[in-house]
Amino acid sequence: MKTTIKSITKHFSDILTYALLIVLGVAWILPIVYLIYTAFRVTPSTGIINTLFPSGLRLGFGNFSRLFQDTMFSTWLANTILVAVCSCALTTAFILMVSYALSRLRFRFRKPIMNVLLVLGMFPGFMSMIAVYFILKAMGLTNSLLALIMVYSGSAALSYYICKGFFDTVPRAMEEAAILDGASQPMVFWKIILPMAKPIIVYTVLTSFISPWCDFIFVNTIISDREKYTVSLGLYKMINAEKNSFNDNFTVFCAGAFVVGGIIVTLFMSMQRYYVEGVTSGAVKG
């Protein structure tokens, strides 16, 4: 009898769990489906509609034509790619070198430095944007893509802990053997460690790329020239340019969001295996 009650209770609990997961899944995917549908919708109007599938449904690429012909989306996309790629390269280099140094080298104040970096990394970046703006203004670097690259890559070392966890798993015997054969510490890092660190490098590249790709706050604070907008700021300004711009340009906005999201989703899907390996291999106690 007790076994039967436990079995019924377990089945009921499983049903509730799956039902909750289904509801959450639908709530998560429905806005994405609506955005994709709106990006390709050309009738009955270009503005917001209250029904998901209105009468007179017709799909096409008209919104994408308007996006690339009537706006500066191509320029904004090029600016975003430039900033994201440069920031990603600098950030990845900084994280790999700092993580390897903290993992392998033993020096005074090593642990206090690690603790300070970890605590600083917990603070949201936007808390410092006013101070960063005035510093860049004093240097004459506001309203430039270089300023964005500096901002995004300047705090790279604060994200050392996952990468350090990966380097902690690499056997020291390999490095010691290479040093006995005459290799220097930098040579060990470049010739031995990095070829083994493909998963964590991919993880670092992806996480470093997504931040400047999707950022809005710092771009809105630093950039005022329309030709130097990134896609997030450009689409925001486009849809709020005039009183009726939001309704008139809503489908074009969704088309731009589809392009931006499609690029980053494709990048993640193509490197998903290495991304998961990087997360799991770096999730150890340092």
pLDDT means per 10 residues, the chain with 286 residues, are 67 84 90 85 58 64 85 91 92 87 82 81 76 85 87 80 81 80 80 81 86 86 88 86 70 88 85 62 46
Determine the pLDDT at residue 180. Answer: 80
What is the per-residue pLDDT for 184?
Answer: 80
CATH number of 72-281: 1.10.3720.10
**Cβ–Cβ under 8 Å, residues 76 and 219:** no
DSSP output for 93-161: HHHHHHHHHHHH---TTHHHHHHHHHHHHTS-GGGGHHHHHHHHHHHT-TTSHHHHHHHHHHTGGGG-H
pTM of the model: 0.80
pLDDT at 200 (0 to 100): 83
The pLDDT assigned to 80 comes to: 93
pLDDT at res. 188? 82
CA–CA separation, 130 and 37 (whole Å):
39
Greatest alpha-carbon span in the chain: 79
Is the distance from CB of 158 to CB of 120 less than 8 angstroms? yes
Phi-psi region of 109 (alpha: psi -120 to 50; beta: other; left: phi over 0): left
Sequence-separated contacts (24+) of 119-128 with Cβ below 8 Å: 120/155, 120/158, 121/155, 121/158, 121/159, 121/161, 125/155, 125/217, 125/218, 126/217, 126/218
Tell me how crowded residue 170 is: count the other CB atoms within 10 A of its CB. 17
Q: Where in the chain are the domains?
A: 2-63, 72-281
- pLDDT at 285 (0 to 100): 44
Model pLDDT, residue 286: 44
Q: How far apart are CA 197 and CA 40, in angstroms?
A: 41
Q: Residue 240: helix, strand or coil by DSSP?
A: coil
pLDDT at position 81 is 93
